[in-house]
Amino acid sequence: MVGILAVQGAFIEHAHCLEQLSQDYVLLRKKSDIPQNLERLILPGGESTVQRKLLHELDLFSVLKNKILEDMPVFGTCAGLILLAEQIAEESTNGFQSLPVLVRRNAYGRQLGSFSEEGTVGEFSGFPMRFIRAPYIEKILHPDVQILNLTENHITAVKYKNQMGTAFHPELTDDLRIHKLFLAL
């Protein structure tokens, strides 16, 4: 069963992707929504500060962090990448701190700085990428982190053990290859 954090952000778009792949999922809005058979987690795009606050207020943070640290596969897009990052540039507050990268929030600028691009993500060529107030990864903090994409000379997709993070929104495209990769972890 895949859990999708559904406290804020683009969670329904991830649900639609999983439906197209005939994958069962549950929307996680509070601690009691977490099923015993939770095997994977998606952290959607949105506003990372709000999501982090709600994760704590709704008593979801500790349970999900423990599952991530036990190597449950997790996929973070945009704000989800920020929540996973070990460090956030120029900020003292952090999320799960499980992905050994340094991330810069809103690195491509404000909403008007949003853009689309096509590129190679891992083995996937011609992948459509949607960047919306996107972060990027400034620094890799562990040699086992695999860089999956560079956009404008910035790291925008990585994989580390059972964790994947993208600065862009694959859920806002019709391309399901990254979701399939996540489900294969």
152 noted as active-site residue: no
Residue-level length of the chain:
185
Selecting among 14, 17, 86, 169, the annotated active-site residue is: 169
17 noted as active-site residue: no
169 noted as active-site residue: yes
Selecting among 14, 78, 86, 179, the annotated active-site residue is: 78
Selecting among 14, 17, 171, 179, the annotated active-site residue is: 171
Active site residues: 78, 169, 171
